[in-house]
Chain A
Amino acid sequence: MTDLSKSDNFFLPDFSHIYVEEGAENFSMTADILKRLPSAEAVSVQDYKSVFNRSGQDFQAQKKSMKLIIAVKKDGFLYKATDVVQDAGYRNFMYTTPILNCLYNCRYCFLQGMYPSANLVVFVNDLDFFSSAAIAVNERSVKDEPLLLSVSYSTDLLAFENVVPWTRKWMDFCESNTDIVIEVRTKSALFSAIKDENPSEQVLLAWTLSPEVVAEMYEWDAPPIDRRINAVQQAIEKGWKVRLCLDPVIPVPGWRKIYSDFIEKIKKDIPAEGIRDVTVGTFRMGKDFFKRARKRMPPSDVYYQNYEERNGVISLPESESAAVADKIKGQLADFISDDRIAVWD
């Protein structure tokens, strides 16, 4: 099958074009982005949705040359978390979407079925996001617990930090709002972009890690696993306590040995005292996203397994999910206490 990658020189580089929504040009973040990508062709658009939500787009084709859309978000700055997102024990749990879509194209990712476009939207009205977050903190239902806000839900925020410093902005916001914890989930190796920030209990740096063979099959354009582990090591050396996400665990043929070897590698390479907690989960996706993603024909077997549908979510049969979780938890038992392992179920 033909599946030309970005390295084939037919394709323009990512962000060869930047679509700027009318009104967005007045924000300082817009000027910064345009300065960081000086050779991009800037195209003015009336409404970002006319680019992002238009019909006739091909997600997988666009992934070969992603464009950037700079826009002003009008409403809906924070959302209550869905069942497929891990709350890891937090009862006040929301997510926000300062960027739509991701630099990477992981084969199991729900973004393939969520948005009509593979292009990235960056919202530049940061103060509106922070106002909404402050209101959500004040209105959280469980007052004696902080609000957990996933800031990297619909993207990999840290991976994009050199273009748009949204992670750093959220970190700064946390300094003046003590009742919020943000989770920055990433596959990026770009810890260097925030290395001068002081470690904070309010910032959960969370790295998704997968065995090399799984990463090569399903996370093919994300940084290799050794570079991710290296970023984790750098963060821990700087005093951060990080979250490790073994999520999704993909039960590829021979998965027990593959994940067993991988967890031993983690134990060897990452000091336990630098780990805040571990989350474990198997593949799951909302039914509608799953159908749409499969229709877009990603060349991956992940959409062709024997899944079950439970409450509108496509996932492995419960017994298989449980077996995976038991195996992973069992192997982590001598590394991290059970109460610091959260399993999606």
Chain B
Amino acid sequence: MEYKKPVLIVTALRAEANPLIEHFGLQPVKNSHVKLYQKDSIRLLIFGLGKKKADASVTEFLNIFPDEYLLVNIGIAGGNPKVTDIGDMYAVHRIHDESSGREWFPDMLIKHELKEMSITTVESAVTDGAGSFTGLVDMEASAVFESTVKSIPSHRMVFLKIVSDTMDELEFSGINVPALIESHLSEIERIIRLYQHSGIWNEPILEGHELSQLSDGINTMKLTATQSEELRRLAEGKKLRSGTVDKLWTMMEHPPESKKERNDRFEQIRQFLSS
């Protein structure tokens, strides 16, 4: 059975996205305000060139479709020829924003087996040589990180960059972007599957059906917000200690006829869950 942890691939260019759309069999999502493609647990968002578009598009997407994503930013980048080779793919371990001077760090927890490199995000394309840029250069990584880190923890972010040029190209139209991405599709899929299986998602103490039953019980019992919060915490503790909270549900089946009855029964529940 396929592992269903949600994945959000973001790319700046359609040329970067097309091979991925085809490889994963993604379909356009109609009636969305953003350029979005999807199949099963994988979504792909094209946000356009530059930091502003990245920030606006990714932020809007996460507001509309929040989920516990693995974020994968895939794209081409300039590479310092002393340390990179054209066509090679790198995992980014440090993102430096040239204009603000700020730096960001995706957590490197998983054995991805790719070469790693720092990246500098710039405002406009670098065409006069690598100069002071010691690693990779792109135009969106810092904005992608900054706009997603409020929603996605940094250990579920992966930045994969394929070197397209050595920062001395005056004309980028000669670069075959789809071919660069295509040459790494199997590797990209391997990385995504690896993360999906890795166990980096926090598993809640109470499972979905238990949370649902808890919510029903809270409504039936007309518990206050404070009681509800305490109930959830106590139920988590009980689950950790004894492995189950099944007996709780029968204690919450019937609505109380008064506040006093509610509070008395809540006290009984509390004692049960604390035992």
A4–B111 CB distance below 8 A: no
A297–B198 CB distance below 8 A: no
A294: B residues at CB distance < 8 A: 233
B101: A residues at CB distance < 8 A: 46
B194: A residues at CB distance < 8 A: 10
Known: A43-B118, A56-B149. A12 touches B109 (CB 8 A): yes
Most buried by B among A19, A60, A304: A304
A45–B205 CB distance below 8 A: no
B240 within 8 A of A: yes
B233–A304 CB distance below 8 A: yes
Known: A10-B110, A11-B111. A61 touches B200 (CB 8 A): yes
A9 within 8 A of B: yes
What is the distance, in angstroms, from A297's C-beta to the closest C-beta of chain B?
6
B155 within 8 A of A: yes
A55–B110 CB distance below 8 A: no
What is the distance, in angstroms, from A302's C-beta to the closest C-beta of chain B?
9
B204: A residues at CB distance < 8 A: 297
B105: A residues at CB distance < 8 A: 19, 43, 45, 50-51, 54
| A139-161 CB contacts (< 8 Å) to partner B | none
| B207-238 CB contacts (< 8 Å) to partner A | 233-234, 236-238
B198–A4 CB distance below 8 A: yes
Q: State how many residues of chain A have any CB contact under 8 Å with chain B.
A: 39
B198–A11 CB distance below 8 A: yes
B183: A residues at CB distance < 8 A: none
What string of 1s and 0s marks CB contacts (under 8 Å) between B172-202 and chain A? 0000000000000000000000100111111
CA distance A20 to B118 in the complex (A): 14
What is the distance, in angstroms, from B208's C-beta to the closest C-beta of chain A?
13
CA distance A299 to B153 in the complex (A): 19
Find the A residue at minimum CB distance from B240: A301
CA distance A61 to B70 in the complex (A): 14
A4–B153 CB distance below 8 A: no
A19: B residues at CB distance < 8 A: 105
CA distance A300 to B201 in the complex (A): 17
CA distance A8 to B274 in the complex (A): 34
B107 within 8 A of A: yes
A55–B149 CB distance below 8 A: yes
A43: B residues at CB distance < 8 A: 93-94, 105, 118
CA distance A12 to B106 in the complex (A): 14
Find the B residue at minimum CB distance from A63: B109
CA distance A65 to B154 in the complex (A): 13
What is the distance, in angstroms, from A171's C-beta to the closest C-beta of chain B?
35
A86 within 8 A of B: no
Find the B residue at minimum CB distance from A9: B111
Ordered by A's residue number, 15 sampled pairs between the chains whose C-beta atoms are within 8 Å are A2-B199, A8-B198, A10-B110, A10-B194, A11-B110, A11-B111, A17-B108, A43-B105, A50-B104, A55-B150, A56-B149, A56-B154, A61-B153, A61-B202, A299-B205
10 A-B pairs with least C-beta separation:
A304-B237, A4-B199, A56-B149, A10-B198, A65-B109, A301-B240, A56-B154, A61-B155, A58-B153, A1-B203
Query: Which B residues are within 8 Å of any A CB, using their own CB?
Result: 93-94, 101-105, 107-111, 116, 118, 149-150, 152-155, 194, 197-205, 233-234, 236-238, 240-241, 274
A299-B240, A300-B240 given; 14 more Cβ-contact pairs under 8 Å: A2-B201, A8-B199, A9-B111, A10-B199, A12-B111, A16-B108, A44-B118, A46-B101, A50-B105, A58-B202, A61-B202, A62-B107, A304-B236, A304-B238
